[in-house]
Structure 1
């Protein structure tokens, strides 16, 4: 099978490699962020809350450091707000008070807001307007929801008639638009909550198990899958009612190796992939 290599994108500065990477992401503007602590969390033994550092590397390579005070999520999701602050959320809400699951920090690293979005967060992505998009996995099958920067629920998939929405396998947020590919039916879904005419569009899709995707015009690429398809990159064309698969390749790291354990983030036409030890991001751009 033909192979496509990721293009090197962003690197955690070597001076921070001694820290533990709690999580990492790439925001809607293309800046990469790493949430760091002095040591790895220990099950049941950590004292919460704790202080953490965010190392940000923008597309030009400039580095910015941000200190966050009193973080409460042991295994968190992270993204940056448009005002320079950050949102940190615990993927599981069971051990937190309802109001403590999601923390919003200002640009000085001070908590300004906390609220709950519900248990079992699979994806948390902030758009250009500061809306917080959350996709849940099947232990809390509430689907996909959008929250305001002040913690108000502004959109939910409850009445969107998305077929088989039980687990949000893949979520892509770019601009103020979201794309999803949920289990069990794996349709391609476009979500534009602020549009009065057809805020949600759905296309049937035969690619199963993708964990990330990229969309560019009428083209789409689904990354990942079950078992031997975990490195699959399936290209497709968006037609009137369905996605027609056009090509399948293997997505590999820039050095030619398979990613192994990885994170993947979809943003518009791009899929960012980060392999263990999670210090480097590579990118596949569907528009290239």
Structure 2
């Protein structure tokens, strides 16, 4: 089976390796970000607000540091807003914490607002216009939704007629559009809320269980799957109604082995993969 190696993309500067990586992401403009704390969070119980450091590595290698004050998220998601601020959200929330689930920080690291987007966050990705896209896993039936950075709901999948939307396995946000591949039927769903004639396009798809998806023109690639297909890289071509498979291979780390425990972020034609100890990102680019 053909193997495709990830290309090294961004590294956490060694000066910050003594801190604990809470989470990491790559934003819509291609900058990589790490949310760091002095120590790992303890399991169970409440989390006292803590100060955190965001280390940003921009395309080209410039490094930027942003101190965030009074972060409250347990097991957080992170992304950057176009104005230089950050969004931090906890994936699980209890009823009395709802108003504090999502924190928005300005470019100086000061909290400007907080709100709730609902429990069970699988993906949280910000688009070029500053909309916050949230895909939920199966303990929350609300599917996929788009929010403003002030907590206003601007789009919901409730009336989108997406078949079998019980768990948003894969979500790709690029520009102001999104692509999703949800459990149980795993269709490829193209979402363009600002296109009035056809905001949602659903294509039948035979690739099950992918955790990431990349799209470039009429081509698509899915990464991940169940059990022995965990490292699968399946490619296909788009038609008006379906994804037609073309080939299947494996995606590996730059030095050859499978990624193992990893994070993935889907952005347009790119799938970013970060393996333990979560200090480096590699990239697969469908357009190259």
Q: TM-score, normalised by structure 1?
A: 0.99
Post-superposition offset of 1:46:
6.3
Are residues 21 and 95 of structure 1, via their aligned partners in 2, closer, same or farther at CA, if it must alter by over 3 Å?
farther
Are residues 255 and 197 of structure 1, via their aligned partners in 2, closer, same or farther at CA, if it must alter by over 3 Å?
same
Post-superposition offset of 1:95:
6.1
Give the Cα–Cα distance (whole angstroms) in 2 for the partners of residues 211 and 169 of structure 1: 5
Are residues 240 and 44 of structure 1, via their aligned partners in 2, closer, same or farther at CA, if it must alter by over 3 Å?
closer
Post-superposition offset of 1:44:
3.0
Post-superposition offset of 1:132:
0.1
Aligned partner of 1:186 in structure 2 is 186
Aligned partner of 2:144 in structure 1 is 144
Residue 17, structure 1, aligned to residue 17, structure 2? yes
Give the Cα–Cα distance (whole angstroms) in 2 for the partners of residues 185 and 94 of structure 1: 30
Residue 220, structure 1, aligned to residue 207, structure 2? no
Give the Cα–Cα distance (whole angstroms) in 2 for the partners of residues 76 and 95 of structure 1: 17
Residue 32, structure 1, aligned to residue 32, structure 2? yes
1:49-60 alignment runs, 5 A limit: 49-60=49-60
Aligned partner of 2:87 in structure 1 is 87
1:33-48 alignment runs, 5 A limit: 33-44=33-44, 47-48=47-48
Aligned partner of 1:258 in structure 2 is 258
Aligned residues: CA RMSD = 0.9
Structure 1 residue ranges without an equivalent (≥5): none
**Local SS of the residue matching 1:158:** helix
1:151-190 alignment runs, 5 A limit: 151-190=151-190
Aligned partner of 1:127 in structure 2 is 127
C-alpha offsets along residues 154-208 of structure 1, whole Å, 9 cap, x if unaligned?
A: 0000000001111000000000000000000000000000111100001000000
Structure 2 contact 168–182 (Cα < 8 Å) conserved = yes
Post-superposition offset of 1:240:
1.9
**Residues matched between the structures, number:** 288
C-alpha offsets along residues 211-242 of structure 1, whole Å, 9 cap, x if unaligned?
A: 00100000000000000111000000001211
Give the Cα–Cα distance (whole angstroms) in 2 for the partners of residues 116 and 240 of structure 1: 36
Give the Cα–Cα distance (whole angstroms) in 1 for the partners of residues 139 and 86 of structure 2: 26
Aligned partner of 1:77 in structure 2 is 77
Aligned partner of 1:269 in structure 2 is 269
Structure 2 contact 166–184 (Cα < 8 Å) conserved = yes
Give the Cα–Cα distance (whole angstroms) in 2 for the partners of residues 238 and 154 of structure 1: 28
Give the Cα–Cα distance (whole angstroms) in 1 for the partners of residues 230 and 213 of structure 2: 13
Structure 2 residue ranges without an equivalent (≥5): none
Post-superposition offset of 1:47:
4.6
C-alpha offsets along residues 37-72 of structure 1, whole Å, 9 cap, x if unaligned?
A: 011111136651100000000010000000000000
